Amino acid sequence: MTTIYCTGQFSFDIADISDENLNTEFRRRKELVSKLKGEWQESLEEKEAADFSASELVAALNGKGLELNPWAFEVYRMIAEGRTEDAMDAMRSEIPQLAPPSHERALADLLTGRTRAHG
């Protein structure tokens, strides 16, 4: 495998990289993601919001460094209603440093191997 360290601007033609090298790297990363995903899923325990008291949920939010702002309650409600698209948009409007929801979904799809119908 070729390792490249970049300390300045550079350019290259992707066509110059062999399909074999691209396929090898793709397989390596896919196997790594699969292994990590399996280990992560094995350590998960199914929980629902109803399994926690309101004070436990507030403490968890505070523990993550999230201040209880009015938008946080609205986002939380949207998630509970299954409106994740709206929740992501609302979060991004309050935290502009977040990547756009479309970028996050594309990354998640790439890492999970899921395909999504775009319409």
Give the whole-angstrom CA distance, residue 42 versus residue 10. Answer: 42
Per-residue pLDDT 10s for the chain (119 aa) are 666 666 777 677 777 778 888 888 888 888 888 777 776 766 667 777 778 888 888 787 777 766 656 788 888 888 888 888 888 888 888 888 877 777 777 777 777 777 765 54
Residues 42-76 have pLDDT tens digits of 666 777 777 888 888 878 777 776 665 678 888 88
Entry pTM: 0.35
**Structural domain includes residue 117:** yes
* In the block, residue with structure tokens 């201040």: 67
**Structural domain includes residue 1:** no
* 99 HSE (CA, 13 A, CB side): 8
- Residue 108 structural domain: 67-119
Under a CB-based contact definition with an 8 Å cutoff, are residues 92 and 101 in contact?
yes
φ, ψ dihedrals at 32, nearest 5°: -65, -45
**Structural domain includes residue 116:** yes
Domain count, the chain: 1
**Structural domain includes residue 109:** yes
